[in-house]
Amino acid sequence: MMKDRFIEELIRLIDDLEGKEVSVCGWVHSVRDLGRIKFLVIRDRTGTLQAVFKRGCCSEEEFRGVGRLKLESVVCVLGELVRGKTKEGVELKARGLRVLTEPVEPLPLEPATSLEAGLATRLNYRWLDTRNPRVTKIFLVEAAVAKAFREYYTSRGFVEIFTSKIVAAGTESGAEVFPVIYFGREAYLAQSPQFYKQMGVIGGFERVFEIGPVFRAEPHHTTRHLTEYHSLDIEMGFIDGPEDVMREVEGFFRHVRKTLMGDPTLRVILEEFGVEDIRIPREIPRVSIRDAYRILEERYGKKLPYGEDLDPEAERLMGRYASEVYDSDFIFITEYPWAARPFYTMRLEGDPQWTTGFDLLYRGLEVVTGSQREHRYEVLLDNIKDKGLDPEAFKFYLDFFKHGAPPHGGAGMGLERIVMQTLRLKNIREARLLPRDPERLLP
């Protein structure tokens, strides 16, 4: 039986569909059996609808079967759509029931109360957990963010590309990779599409973007790290400096806000998660990491070793600074130290211990990392050596730069982190349908 309408649509179109026969399919959310009348609440991803069965409405077998239905059975109900006294203001005057499948064993996790269980249990039975309407809504927001990313960068003249996730070398100095055996040779799962999105720019596309999985073999056990996540990547050529990239990142987050706050359904979801607005001032504040060291120490008593990356506490404090001083949920931290950035990052002219690298913090968590890239072959070669890496291992990458590479830069954004911070989730695993960490490989 083909389902052609969601419950939300039936409720919204009641003026046109009142009194008409419709078929509603979904999962059994609840059943009340009062003898001569039975109430069945059906749930799909958009909401719930009550179906009312009265004796004589259908065959006696179907009528009796309503009272015997198990929760989470998959059913279709045929009936007349009418106005009712339910919270939806609409109900179904049932005329027939079709049971498609029923659970074959007791539910290990009830969707209606899944949020009361521990996160590990919820992830073990993710197919039941995601039937909880609140969990479903997380992934509706995630889909909207991914769609907004594709819309925005397409409108800005970027070309979508699809790069290999099996690579010959890692892209991030100091980060671990997952090795794979590739026809007798060692290869790796891609930590990012970095090398190939640069190739896209150098190859003549000039502006490219990609949405795809990336893999980090780092044994983190935190609420903000995954070993597999989806990255939203951009790369653009013929830039004057990293500010050009930051403006494109800023434009995207403005579009995300417009998308989420401008759509009535999505705005209601945000409100349900306690989010009244996403604060983006006329220009997202920019603070160099050297100024951040000073702000952290003078304002919050947090002292970081000069020339080191921000730790999680420092990020949270700089997020607090953005909120207190700029009334902003966002802040760019710029000119990251060379010691904390990959070899392909362009260093500052005349001050090479600092770079064009930047992070965007969203409510105190890094969600975007970017920079202007080094496009000059000889300088890039020196950078690789300066990091203690073997240029021969990156020969295929260096070859890109031998035949005319424009000045370029880009950024990578963590989809799950964006959703986590937007909805104020406590753990990034809640924003990943099937999270992978050092312990979890199933389901």
SS3 content of the chain, % helix, strand, coil (to 5): 35, 30, 35
Q: What is the pLDDT of residue 1?
A: 60
Q: Residue 113 corresponds to which tokens in the numbers above?
A: 């109360």
Q: What is the pLDDT of residue 115?
A: 96
Q: What is the pLDDT of residue 171?
A: 67
Same domain, 141 and 89: no
Last residue of a domain, one of 78, 101, 124: 101
Same domain, 97 and 156: no
Residue 214 backbone phi and psi in degrees, to 5: -135, 160
Residue 417 domain flag: yes
Same domain, 299 and 422: yes
The torsion defined by the Cα of 185, 188, 193 and 194, in degrees rounded to 10, comes to -90
CA 12 to CA 116: how far, in whole Å? 31
Residue 128 domain flag: no
DSSP conformational letter for 345: B
Answer whether 121's CB lies under 8 Å from 132's CB: no
Residue 404 domain flag: yes
CA–CA distance from 63 to each of 35, 44, 114, 234, 250 (Å)? 10, 22, 30, 57, 58
Same domain, 197 and 54: no
Query: Which residue spans within 34-73 are E strands per DSSP?
Result: 37-44, 47-54
Q: What is the pLDDT of residue 218?
A: 86
Q: What is the pLDDT of residue 435?
A: 97
Last residue of a domain, one of 50, 78, 101: 101
Q: 145 in helix, strand or coil?
A: helix
Same domain, 171 and 288: yes
Same domain, 148 and 222: yes
CA–CA distance from 16 to each of 8, 19, 77, 82, 421 (Å)? 14, 9, 19, 11, 39
Residue 323 domain flag: yes
Q: How many domains in the chain?
A: 2
Residue whose entry in the numeric block shows the structure tokens 């389901």: 443
Q: Give the dihedral sign, CA 316/319/325/327.
A: negative
The β-bridge partners of 181 are 186
Q: Which DSSP string corresponds to 205-228?
A: I-EEEEEEEEE------SSS--SE
Q: What is the pLDDT of residue 252?
A: 98
The β-bridge partners of 44 are 47
Residue whose entry in the numeric block shows the structure tokens 């099937």: 434
Q: pTM to 2 decimals?
A: 0.95
Last residue of a domain, one of 81, 101, 121: 101
Q: What is the pLDDT of residue 85?
A: 86
The enclosing domain of 352 has a CATH number of: 3.30.930.10
Same domain, 140 and 94: no
The rounded average pLDDT for each run of 10 residues, N- to C-terminus, in the chain (443 residues) is 85 95 96 95 96 93 94 97 91 95 96 96 98 97 98 98 90 74 94 96 98 92 95 98 98 98 96 97 97 98 96 98 98 97 96 98 98 98 95 94 98 98 98 96 95
Residue 171 domain flag: yes
Answer whether 47's CB lies under 8 Å from 85's CB: no
Q: What is the pLDDT of residue 3?
A: 79
CA 134 to CA 191: how far, in whole Å? 31
Q: Which DSSP string corresponds to 249-299?
A: HHHHHHHHHHHHHHSHHHHHHHHHTT-------SS--EEEHHHHHHHHHHH
DSSP conformational letter for 6: -
Query: Which residue spans within 285-436 are E strands per DSSP?
Result: 286-288, 330-334, 347-348, 351-355, 358-362, 365-372, 408-414
Q: What is the pLDDT of residue 170?
A: 72
Same domain, 181 and 321: yes
Same domain, 27 and 167: no
Same domain, 233 and 299: yes
Residue 364's identity, in one-letter code, is G
Same domain, 93 and 196: no
Residue 270 backbone phi and psi in degrees, to 5: -60, -40
The enclosing domain of 60 has a CATH number of: 2.40.50.140
Domain range enclosing 280: 133-431
Residue whose entry in the numeric block shows the structure tokens 């065959």: 59
Residue 113 domain flag: no
Q: What is the pLDDT of residue 172?
A: 62
CA 296 to CA 320: how far, in whole Å? 11
Residue whose entry in the numeric block shows the structure tokens 């060692």: 186
CA distance between the termini of the chain? 28
Residue 339 domain flag: yes
Residue 437 domain flag: no
Neighbours of 106 (CB within 10 A): 8
Same domain, 53 and 198: no
Sheet holding 330-334, edge to edge: 159-160, 207-215, 228-237, 408-414, 365-372, 358-362, 330-334, 286-288
Q: What is the pLDDT of residue 169?
A: 77
